[in-house]
Structure 1
């Protein structure tokens, strides 16, 4: 066998080996890519599932507008989020709060009218509790206003007033009652007061 023939065979063997190595590498790359895509897809699915599980959701069925037909109420928010969605029948609205409590309560501010109201409380950044009120008139959700205090500390006796639990900042941190009336448009209007009780004990010397 002459040298030229030997060189050709060696070169041909080299080319064949190179092709085989390239093919193996390609298959390994494709396998690795598919595996990574599968892992990424599974991770995204897990994240979505966690998000679904952690959604706070509350429902109720009660007549809100006095037509003697129960309205379907849905409240949703995410833990740690400041946004929520409130839906009554086919009408929905979005709202904001800080450190939402994750639920709502049904209240009757004025027993002489036909409405029941929805109260949504939030804890705030540092126990600065507030509560937002909504009314459903059969066609739309009406934001009535937001007052200080939680649904547990606010007083609602059914006489058309809401007594908020207001934080005072004069001299010290203290709380006092701040009354609101229902307006003709079913909005909460603050009733001005000349004096506010501090309810703090003092010692005279």
Structure 2
């Protein structure tokens, strides 16, 4: 009996010793669950790797395109430099592109820049320039890539300048209205759209009677010039109320009298050539025309007047 009790006590001590050295249910020598996948978060997702000690962090205020690098300029008279390398002329050799900025003395907006490609340079002055230049490919078949620089201008007068580097010479392809890419500190995209077929689409600010914008297209010709594809007429589609009597004619070619509008009538300004003619439609659907001089003076009336004298509902924003 004593021998049996002794044996039971020895077994109990052995079990206690095993429990003290290991968790129940975990074989001795196995990795615990809390030790596995130590780089997995509580949500089960692997966290982003931490930055290496001493790694350089960008201090650029702009989301730079591709491999563009921004730095503080060490050259007197300039504030920042934007650099990148790319093959612009299709010869298989990267060209060095540098855009050096100057700011408005009364603020921090970029007011001018010096663009350099290898040893060639062009200077430019504007307002609210975005120094994040873009590389474009207007015509993939010509073997060249362009540099495009946009600005917002004094009053949302967006403008983009396209440059070409060809046979070691840097030239201006053209200036068009509209902004390329996203506006600084914004997710809003500009109006300029590279079609990839030799054309560029944008929106141009019209001058006829009011402040308005119309779709515009430019074609890159064989002389390395962006040429506007002129349209005979541009859609106006502006609802107005007549303020003073307005006489109209049957067409641009036919001067025969057509409908005469009276004060208080509703009408729609339909189309314009953006030069001297505007078509107008009355409530009955009759379309007629009137002539304009200097974009604002209404011609052929019993009394002179400007667009705001004849029409209510125009956009006269600066």
TM over 0.5: yes
Extract unaligned runs of 5+ from structure 2: 1-72, 105-109, 181-189, 241-265, 268-282, 284-318
**What's 2:207 paired with?**
169
Structure 2 vs 1, CA of residues 138 and 169 (structure 1 numbering), >3 Å: closer, same or farther? same
2:96 to 57, 62, 72: 72
Structure 2 vs 1, CA of residues 139 and 75 (structure 1 numbering), >3 Å: closer, same or farther? same
**What's 1:125 paired with?**
154
- Cα offset for 1:194? 1.0
Match of 2:164, SS?
strand
Structure 2 vs 1, CA of residues 192 and 78 (structure 1 numbering), >3 Å: closer, same or farther? same
Distance in 1 of aligned mates of 2:86 and 2:238: 41
CA RMSD of aligned residues (A): 2.5
1:94 to 85, 109, 123: 123
| Worse overlay, 163-172 or 178-187 | 163-172
Q: TM-score, with normalisation over the residues of structure 1? A: 0.68
| Worse overlay, 185-194 or 127-136 | 185-194
Match of 2:114, SS?
strand
Structure 2 vs 1, CA of residues 106 and 201 (structure 1 numbering), >3 Å: closer, same or farther? farther
1:141 aligns with 2:170: yes
2:232 to 179, 191, 194: 194
Give the structure with higher Rg (CA).
Answer: 2
- Cα offset for 1:100? 1.2
Aligned pairs, number:
157
1:85 to 107, 110, 114: 114
| Worse overlay, 168-177 or 132-141 | 168-177
Match of 2:103, SS?
coil
- Cα offset for 1:199? 6.1
Q: TM-score, with normalisation over the residues of structure 2? A: 0.45
| 8 A Cα contact 2:82 2:99, kept in partner | yes
| 8 A Cα contact 1:57 1:103, kept in partner | no
**What's 1:62 paired with?**
86
1:157 aligns with 2:157: no
| 8 A Cα contact 1:83 1:95, kept in partner | yes
Distance in 1 of aligned mates of 2:224 and 2:100: 24
Extract unaligned runs of 5+ from structure 1: 1-48
Match of 1:114, SS?
coil
Distance in 1 of aligned mates of 2:237 and 2:178: 17
**What's 1:184 paired with?**
222
1:131-182 deviation per Cα after TM superposition (whole angstroms, max 9, x unaligned): 1110001411011110100113111111111122201233432211111111
| Worse overlay, 56-65 or 164-173 | 164-173
